[in-house]
Structure 1
């Protein structure tokens, strides 16, 4: 399963070596309907409503947030607090506790 997630992350976009502001702009533009929107890939890959990652089960929505967190970290956003703020800015709402847990898990995951 880790290999599958790694492949999905590789297919999601090209590693960006631009400055931090350019990275944030890229993340903002690609997070909804773009290369960083993992909802269609998760729906296509998983037919069940819950997905196991490690010892935890995630809803599809939370699992897409987990993948987004991993990709954002790989792109060069190295602060979890900054990642939380960026997600909330993009989605124009606060993260729920399960979403924060999923985002933190993805952000800290090593694929």
Structure 2
């Protein structure tokens, strides 16, 4: 049930054309990741304002890491094909390297399969 709700949430945030080329996708991701539609930190804070931790699968995430998990799922859904590419893109956008917990959250989001 949680996976279905998660999929519906990710799908409803917004969609991009499947025909957009990879550079256009990366440019859009970079534009929308800070203060835009892919800045999931704002949405997570609003939706889970009273929750100190958010459960996904068998793991609890703080709000920052859960927002990164959502970002990872979205970039995979948009066509970013490798985890290394997603990590590099995150670093370019935020001008910093992910911590170990942040990296694990991004990997979980990136590897999540939607039916």
- Contact map agreement 1:16 1:23 (CA 8 A) in 2: no
Q: Which residue in 2 is equivalent to 1:59?
A: 62
CA 1:16–1:49 in 2, change beyond 3 Å: closer, same or farther? farther
**Counterpart for residue 73 of structure 2:** 70
1:20-74 deviations in Å (ceiling 9; x for gaps): 0000001000001111111122112212111111111111000000000000000
In the TM superposition, residue 4 of structure 1 has moved relative to its aligned partner by: 2.9
With normalisation by structure 2, the TM-score equals 0.90
Aligned pairs for 1:33-48 within 5 A: 33-46=35-48, 47-48=50-51
> For 2:61, what is the secondary structure of its paired residue?
strand
- Counterpart of 2:98? 95
Distance 1:15 1:53 in 2: 25
Matched, 1:9 2:23: no
Determine the structure 2 residue equivalent to 1:82: 85
TM-score for both structures, normalised by structure 1: 0.94
Moved over 6 A (4+): none
What is the alpha-carbon root mean square deviation over aligned residues?
Answer: 1.1
Structure 1 CA distance for aligned equivalents of residues 113 and 47 of structure 2 = 21
Q: Which residue of 2 aligns with 1:23?
A: 25
Q: How many residues align?
A: 111
Q: Unaligned stretches of 5+ in structure 2?
A: none
User: Aligned pair 1:105/2:105, yes or no?
Assistant: no
